[in-house]
């Protein structure tokens, strides 16, 4: 059933499963694709855009800071490229706010979890377009109005204990280099009107270049670079 579901989602089972660490496994139970620890199927992680708490945020998507940072006045039907999809929450918020979102996720396992979550969306909800690839492959192939970057925040023991989802992200990407700066420069070469970068609230800007403006939240902020 697992390999069949991966094929349905558009993933090669053999190639995808090779990306798992020795102590992790994929499970497909009760119609949900999950990432689990070997020998412990009771402690699994799945992406669920139908969670009641997140559904409430989706219903109020226009009030979200990421939406405010990406919105360009007097322009409708904006095309957004989420270059670092991660768990897909920001991409879903942007999609529900009325943008047309294409999201890139470079890790095959995380991309499969995202695809499964999108597959389980109710018919009344429109999901974003997922690309299981590195963002660099898409910067110059399609014109976007806004490119959104959310590089992984530096890991801390506290955050790893408190936020299970962030721990999963760090576990999957532990061998990957921090490419936030490279992504910014690549995005700067792309044909877009605006670049938005999510940063920890007290962190420095990703480059010495001053943002056009910033939108601040409790734990993070959005640095906005307006290009046109």
**pLDDT for res 161:** 42
This prediction's pTM:
0.90
Sheet holding 40-45, edge to edge: 24-29, 32-37, 40-45
**pLDDT for res 168:** 66
- DSSP secondary structure string, 45-89? E---TT-HHHHHHHHTGGGSHHHHHH--TT--S-EEEES--TTSH
| pLDDT > 90? residue 89 | yes
CA distance 54 to 50: 7
The pLDDT tens digits of the residues spanning 103-155 come to 999 999 999 999 999 999 999 899 999 999 999 888 877 789 999 999 865 54
**pLDDT for res 162:** 39
Q: CA gyration radius for the chain?
A: 17
Percent of the chain scored above 70 by pLDDT? 87
Query: Would you place residue 157 in the very low, low, confident or very high pLDDT band (cuts 50, 70, 90)?
Result: very low
- Domains of the chain (ranges, CATH numbers): 61-226 (3.40.50.150)
| Helices and strands in the chain: count of H runs, count of E runs | 9, 10
Q: What residues pair up with 196 in beta bridges, in sequence order? A: 148, 224
**pLDDT for res 152:** 67
DSSP for residue 158: H
Tokens of 92: 């879903």
- Tell me phi and psi for residue 109, to 5 degrees: -65, -45
């Amino acid at each position: 059933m697992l390999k069949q579901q991966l094929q349905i989602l558009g993933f090669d089972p053999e190639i995808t499963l090779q990306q798992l660490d020795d102590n992790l496994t994929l499970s497909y139970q009760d119609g949900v694709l999950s990432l689990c620890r070997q020998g412990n199927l009771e402690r699994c992680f799945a992406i669920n855009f139908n969670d009641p708490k997140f559904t409430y945020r989706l219903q109020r998507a226009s009030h979200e800071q990421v939406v405010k940072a990406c919105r360009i006045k007097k322009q409708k039907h904006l095309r957004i490229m989420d270059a670092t999809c991660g768990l897909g929450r920001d991409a879903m918020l942007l999609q529900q706010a009325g943008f047309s979102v294409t999201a890139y996720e470079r890790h095959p396992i995380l991309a499969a979890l995202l695809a499964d979550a999108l597959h389980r969306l109710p018919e009344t909800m429109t999901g974003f377009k997922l690309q299981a690839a590195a963002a660099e492959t898409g910067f110059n192939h399609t014109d976007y109005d806004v490119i959104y970057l959310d590089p992984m925040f530096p890991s801390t023991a506290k955050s790893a204990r408190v936020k299970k989802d962030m721990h999963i992200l760090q576990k999957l990407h532990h061998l990957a280099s921090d490419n936030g700066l490279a992504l910014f420069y690549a995005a700067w070469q792309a044909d877009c009107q605006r670049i938005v970068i999510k940063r920890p609230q007290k962190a420095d800007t990703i480059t010495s270049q001053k943002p056009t403006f910033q939108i601040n939240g409790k734990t993070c902020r959005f640095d906005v670079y307006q290009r046109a």
